[in-house]
Amino acid sequence: MNYEICVSREKKNLGHNNSAAHIKRAAAAALRAEGVEKAIISVMLTDDEGIRRVNREFRGVDSATDVLSFPLNELTPGAFDPADCETDPETGAALLGDMMISVPRCEAQGEEFGHGYEREIEYLTVHSVLHLLGYDHLDEGAMKKQMRAREKQIMGDKD
């Protein structure tokens, strides 16, 4: 497995010292679980102001959120095929897309849900990677259930 997970910060000192390690571990777990062997993903850590600006610009939603995903490919959930992806000409790795995580929102949700920042940033990363791989939850039906079940499996949750 060869994954290039590029994590950057929109502002200096944003996030925790171990944020990148947690993101890379969670992204690799999701990619492995979905059968992806070589991939490149870009992750931007931001604050509520930054994610609100991007949410407004790209989705027309003028509010902050926890995570945004920008897939480069239109993929079928649970049926990853590298032939369906743009690839890096040098490495052949699938270019999956970009994600943006609001650190303050992640901190607040980790506290609210009682599992802390590290688990929350890992969950948001898994959630976003699944979006990059074609999963969605816009409807309340089967697609949302499929995505939630996959998140639980990857995060190691038990019913």
Range of the domain at 42: 2-155
d(CA 42, CA 44): 7
Contacts of 89 (CB under 8 A, 6+ apart): none
Number of domain units in the chain: 1
Q: With 0.85 as the threshold, say if the pTM is over it.
A: yes
Going from the C-alpha of 24 to that of each of 84, 111, 113, 126, the distances in angstroms are 23, 22, 22, 10
Neighbours of 69 (CB within 10 A): 21
Helix (H, G, I), strand (E, B) or coil at 46: strand
Neighbouring-strand partners of residue 2: 38
- Polymer length in residues for the chain: 159
Predicted local confidence at residue 32, as pLDDT: 96
pLDDT tens per residue, range 98-145: 999 999 999 999 999 999 999 999 999 999 999 999 998 776 678 888
Domain containing residue 52: CATH number: 3.40.390.30
* CB-facing half-sphere around the CA of 2: CA atoms within 13 A: 7
Gyration radius (Cα) of the chain, Å: 15
pLDDT tens per residue, range 18-71: 999 999 999 999 999 999 999 999 999 999 999 999 999 999 999 999 999 999
